[in-house]
Chain A
Amino acid sequence: MSSATDVTRLREAFGGKILETVEFRGEQTVRVELGSLHDVLAQCRNDHGYAMVLDVASVDHFGEEPRFEIVYEIASVDDAKRLRVKAKVAEGEAVASATDLWAGADWHEREVWDMMGIAFANHPNLKRILMWEGYPFFPLRKDFPLAGRPSEMPDVAFSGVAPLEGGPFVTCAGGENTVVREPRARVVE
C-alpha cells in the first residue's frame, strides 16, 4: 500500500472536504477543510497505518485570507509511507488538537502556539514552550520584526530590541538590486 492509494481512499471517504491533492516527486499532500482535519488525521492513523507524527508546522500567509496554514507531516513506521495534511486557519480560529491521536503532537502543537499563535482545541497542556508564559507576542508571525519588541514582566523576564544595522540579517529575497535586497536595516512598524 502506498501513500498514493491512501490519498485515493481519503478522497473516496471525505469527498468534497478534501480540497486539493498534490503529488510532487512522489510526495503526497492533501489539503482539507479545517473542520474535517481531525477526522482525516484519525482515519490516516487508524485505517492507513500512519502511526507517527513527524512534525507539525505552520505557515503565515500574511496578507491573505485565511491567514495561516497548519501542516501535519505523518508517517507509517513499517513501510515508510509519508503524507502531508494541510488546512487553512483564519486568525483567531482554533485547530482541533491531534494529541489524542499521537502523543508526539503535544510539543509540536505547543511550539506552533508559542511561535505563531494558532490555538489548539482540546490540547491537554497548551502553554508556551520556548518563550516564557506571559510573553505578549508571537515571534514567527510575518508582522513581528526580527529585532524583537520590548516587553517587561518584573522579576520574570524582559526583552528588548536588537540592533540590526550592518548585519547580514536583513536581506529580503526577490529585490531588483542589492540595495533593495540587502538594506542596512529593515524597520517593521
Chain B
Amino acid sequence: MASSSLNTVHTAYDSKVEGNMILTRVDAAINWMRKNSLWPMPMGLACCAIELMATASSRFDISRFGMEVMRFSPRQADVLIVSGTVTYKMALAVKRIWDQMPEPKWCVAMGACASSGGMYRSYAVLQGIDRLIPVDVYISGCPPRPEALIEGLLALQKKIEGEESTMAQKKAYFEGKAKA
C-alpha cells in the first residue's frame, strides 16, 4: 500500500507496519534530523543576549525544540544567533566565528541592531550583520521577547524543512558528469 508520506516532506508511520518501517525521502530525513537538533552559537553582543539567555532557560526553554545545546565553540555549532549591536570593532570577529562554523549553517539576526543597526546610526556601528554574512531569519524587536526568538527559530526550522540537502549535490554531480 502506498503511503501518503511519499507526497509530503514529513516522515510518517504506515499504520500496517508501525514500529518497523518508516518511508521517507533522504532529503526529508536529513532535514528532519537537522531541524530538530540545531546547536546554536550564542553571539551575545548587547541586551538581546539577556533575552537569548531567558529563551534558553527553564521558563521559555528552547530544549522543547531540540535547540538547547548552546555551544561556545563555533566548530560545534550550526546556528549563529547574532543578538545585539555589531560594532565595526566586533564585526570581523563575528565574521571569523561564522567562517569557523562547519556547513550546513544558518544565521539568525536577532533584534533591530543585528538586522539593521537599529537606533545606532553612527560611525561606530555596522548597519546590519547581513552586510557581512548571509542571514536566514530576521527577528524584529528591541530587544525581541523570548517568544519572538522562538518564533524566529521555528521559522528557521520551517526553512530547513524545505531545503534540498542532497538534491543540490546530486544536481551538481550529474551536471559535472554531463560536461565531462
Contact = CB atoms under 8 A, between A and B. Distances in A.
A162 B121 contact: yes
B127 A156 contact: no
B121 A146 contact: yes
A163 B120 CA distance: 10
Contact of A162 (B89, B92, B122): B122
Contact-size category for A: 20 to 34
A157 B121 CA distance: 18
B123 A147 contact: yes
A139 interface: yes
- Among B117, B120, B121, the most chain A Cβ lie within 10 Å of the Cβ of B121
Given A146-B123, A148-B122, A157 B117 contact: no
Nearest to B120: A162
Interface in A137-189: 137, 139, 144-149, 155-160, 162-164, 167, 169
B88 interface: yes
B22 interface: no
- Among B88, B119, B123, B131, the most chain A Cβ lie within 10 Å of the Cβ of B123
Sorted nearest first, the 9 A-B pairs with minimum C-beta distance are A148-B123, A162-B121, A159-B88, A169-B121, A139-B123, A167-B121, A164-B121, A162-B127, A132-B89
A162 B91 contact: no
Contacts of A158: 88, 91-92
Nearest to A167: B121
Interface of A: 130-132, 137, 139, 144-149, 155-160, 162-164, 167, 169
- Among A137, A146, A147, A148, the most chain B Cβ lie within 10 Å of the Cβ of A148
A145 B120 CA distance: 14
Given A159-B124, A160-B127, A162-B121, 5 more contacts: A149-B123, A155-B92, A162-B123, A164-B121, A167-B121
B92 A156 contact: yes
Nearest to B96: A155
Interface in B84-109: 88-89, 91-92
Contacts of B121: 146-147, 162-164, 167, 169
Nearest to B126: A160
Contacts of A156: 92
B91 A146 contact: no
Contacts of B131: 160
29 contacts: A130-B89, A130-B124, A131-B124, A132-B89, A137-B123, A139-B123, A144-B123, A146-B122, A146-B123, A147-B122, A147-B123, A148-B122, A149-B123, A156-B92, A157-B88, A157-B89, A157-B92, A158-B91, A158-B92, A160-B126, A162-B122, A162-B123, A162-B125, A162-B127, A164-B121, A167-B119, A167-B121, A169-B121, A169-B122
Nearest to A166: B121
A160 B120 CA distance: 13
Contacts of A149: 123
A131 B122 contact: no
